[in-house]
Amino acid sequence: MAPGWGGTLLVGLLHSLEIAIGATCLGLLIGTAGAFGKLYGGPVTRDLLAVYTTVVRAVPELVLILLLYYAGTDLINQVLAAMGYSRVDISGLAAGIFVLGFVQGAYSTEVIRGAILAIPQGQIEAARAYGMPPGLMLRRITLPAMLPFAIPGLANLWLIATKDTALLAVVGFFELTLATRQAAGVTKAYLLFYVAAGVLYLAVTLFSNLLIGRVETWSRRGMPSVKEAR
């Protein structure tokens, strides 16, 4: 095994993590907006959001990635051309974050919507009775109160995001799986590199699980524990 390939794999892992973090953040933004749109929006907003979440969840991620990857870069270039600028090369990182974030947004919309519905209604009514403006209520009441209900679902989505980055290998973005494929193809040590990449992915998952456990207990602070409730 050439000494360079281990480093290549780690660079791939770094790119995977960058995309996963970016996509999860973008997904959270879309998801929060989408959940509020679905709960408090007008009828047209609700229907459009229903179409968004249904379509994204019914079509394979691979097809969506191809579609959005080509459509997104094409659209941006056409807009730029119409405005009189020259075409630009969209970086793979930005495109990957956009595409996966769009997919994640549909799933997190549903998770956050469910979590907001799980907040005891009295808390939101009390906030309204205090005369809180919507922005303050969102920041002080709704978001913190929904967090313990949303965290298991969002944690799941984070794990899915780390694994979905592998799909970007199909459109040629250099992340862990594509790095592995290149390393394995050059050295012919297929099994070694694929197992190494599997261990890296697994390490990310297990480490995330540790962190998620911490975050979950933190977000549930001050709430009665489930065990005592029985």
Partner 1 sequence: MSAEATAINMAARASIWLKPHRIMLILIALGLVLCAAFFMRWDWLPQYWEMGLMGIWRALWILAVTCALGFALAVPLGLAQAGGPIWFSAPAKVFCTIIRGTPLLLQLWLLYYGLGSIFPQYPWIRQSWLWPYLRQAWPYAVVALTFSFAGYEGEVMRGAFAGVPRGQLEAARAFGMSRWKIFRRIWLPQAFYRALPTLTGETVLQLKSTPLVATISVIDIFAVSSKVRQDTYLTYEPLLLLALIYMTITGILVFVFSRIEARIPVKIG
CB of 230 to partner 1, least distance (A): 15
Output 44 or 129, the one with its CB closest to partner 1.
44
| Helix 92-118 / helix 61-82 crossing angle, nearest 10 deg | 120
CB of 130 to partner 1, least distance (A): 34
CB of 152 to partner 1, least distance (A): 14
CB of 141 to partner 1, least distance (A): 31
**Spatial contact of 205 and 226, defined as CB atoms under 8 Å apart:** no
CB of 194 to partner 1, least distance (A): 4
Output 141 or 197, the one with its CB closest to partner 1.
197
Backbone angles phi, psi at 181, to 5 degrees: -65, -40
Which residues are at the interface with partner 1 (CB under 8 A)?
A: 43-44, 47-48, 55, 58-64, 66-67, 70-71, 74, 159, 163-167, 169-170, 177, 180-181, 184, 188, 190-191, 194-195, 197-198, 201-202, 205-206
Output 146 or 167, the one with its CB closest to partner 1.
167
Q: What is the dihedral of CA 13, 17, 19, 24, to 10 degrees?
A: 160
The separation between CA 66 and the C-alpha centre of its own chain, rounded to angstroms, equals 17
Output 91 or 205, the one with its CB closest to partner 1.
205
Output 62 or 126, the one with its CB closest to partner 1.
62
CA-only gyration radius of the chain, Å: 21
Copy the structure tokens of residue 46. 């609700």
CB of 160 to partner 1, least distance (A): 10
**Spatial contact of 55 and 105, defined as CB atoms under 8 Å apart:** no
Output 55 or 136, the one with its CB closest to partner 1.
55
| Helix 3-40 / helix 176-187 crossing angle, nearest 10 deg | 160
Q: Where are the alpha helices (DSSP H) in the chain?
A: 3-40, 43-58, 61-82, 92-118, 121-129, 134-137, 143-164, 176-187, 190-219, 226-229
